[in-house]
């Protein structure tokens, strides 16, 4: 009996965890943490910093998870029509809408309370605005209405390093905004690569993604266009002396590979190539921010 109860409990916990989109949240938290470390010099890495950074990390992760759960709630019918999302707890009937709403409210409230009490009010308000931007403005308003949903809604997804920066400094500097700009420029080619090889599923679900409304060729051109913009934007930290040679070399190398994929998508498209590009884009952002962090402490 105890074994059955434990299995049921662990299964239910796994279902609630799935609502938070752990892989997406992990990238969000990583970018936020990098923002925290970039905001301070090596000599400031003391126990006080560690305590505040830990509280900020947990708080941001909780609110991001709550936003993901609300996204799952709003898009449950859409998720049921798409192969990559129909396994989620709501489409499979493992969790109810009420359970999801209560869970998201509790987790989000806990995260905001932690940020307010242990970090600072600015980070709490910025995180709340990010939650509203993703869970409400993007999910409810933009995504079903315009093919530019990713471009406009990308502002919310670009906020994590700004949240991290504000958490340890109490303000927002131009360096934090540069980090925001990098993710903002990264989002369209990242997501449109996915949309290209999932076009039929989006069409079936009635979601006006760019390949559905404007066709493959138009979308492929915009993937290339935004990748070029991204390449240029990633050079700004070096140009403004925020970073040094280590980051510059990494940005150029990583950007060259991304450009290679974007050019191939434009000239010789295949679903497999788009899928490879989408996966690389995640690795690209991770390595780019890691390079920023390494460069910050080994600047030359």
Q: Are 100 and 90 in contact (CB under 8 A)?
A: yes
DSSP 67-132: HHHHHHHHTHHHHTTSTTTTTSTTTTTSS-HHHHHHHHHHHHHHHHHHHHHHT-HHHHHHHHHHHI
pLDDT category at 300 given cuts 50, 70, 90 is very low
Task: Please state the length of the chain.
Answer: 300
State the first-to-last Cα distance of the chain, in angstroms, to the nearest integer. 62
CA distance readout (Å), 296 to 47, 167, 169, 252 = 20, 18, 16, 17
Least Cα distance to 56 among 134, 153, 132, 169 occurs for 169
CA distance readout (Å), 250 to 35, 256, 278 = 18, 10, 19
Please report, for the chain, the start and end positions of each structural domain, with discontinuous segments joined by +: 15-172, 173-300
pLDDT digits over 90-142, tens only? 999 889 999 999 999 999 999 999 999 999 999 999 999 999 999 999 988 88
**15-172 adopts what CATH topology?**
Tetracycline Repressor; domain 2 (1.10.357)
Least Cα distance to 169 among 41, 26, 291, 297 occurs for 41
Q: Are 223 and 278 in contact (CB under 8 A)?
A: no
pLDDT category at 299 given cuts 50, 70, 90 is low
Pick the residue with more confidence: 159 or 148? 159
pLDDT digits over 234-257, tens only? 999 999 999 999 999 999 999 999
């Amino acid at each position: 009996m105890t074994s059955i109860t434990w299995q049921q409990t662990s299964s239910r916990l796994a279902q609630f965890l799935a609502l938070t989109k752990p892989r997406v949240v992990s990238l969000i938290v990583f970018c936020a943490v990098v923002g925290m470390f970039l905001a301070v010099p090596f000599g400031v890495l003391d126990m006080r910093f560690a305590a505040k950074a830990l509280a900020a990390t947990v708080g941001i992760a909780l609110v991001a998870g709550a936003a993901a759960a609300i996204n799952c709630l709003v898009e449950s019918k859409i998720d049921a029509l798409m192969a990559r999302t129909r396994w989620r707890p709501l489409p499979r009937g493992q969790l109810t809408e009420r359970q999801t709403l209560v869970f998201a409210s509790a987790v989000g409230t806990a995260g905001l309370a932690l940020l307010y009490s242990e970090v600072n009010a600015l980070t709490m308000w910025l995180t709340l605005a990010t939650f509203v931007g993703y869970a409400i403005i993007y999910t409810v308003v933009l995504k079903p209405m315009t093919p530019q949903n990713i471009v406009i809604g990308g502002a919310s997804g670009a906020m994590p390093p700004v949240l991290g920066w504000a958490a340890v400094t109490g303000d927002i500097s131009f360096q934090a905004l540069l980090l925001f700009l990098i993710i903002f420029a990264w989002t369209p080619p990242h997501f449109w690569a996915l949309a290209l090889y999932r076009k039929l599923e989006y069409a079936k679900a009635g979601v006006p993604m760019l390949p559905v409304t404007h066709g493959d060729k138009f979308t492929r051109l915009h993937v290339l266009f935004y990748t070029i913009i991204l390449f240029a934007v990633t050079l700004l930290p070096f140009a403004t002396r925020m970073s040094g040679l280590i980051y510059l070399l990494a940005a150029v190398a990583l950007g060259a590979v991304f450009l290679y994929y974007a050019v191939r998508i434009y000239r010789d498209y295949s679903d497999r190539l788009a899928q490879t590009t989408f996966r690389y884009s995640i690795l690209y952002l991770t390595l780019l921010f890691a390079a920023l962090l390494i460069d910050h402490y080994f600047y030359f």
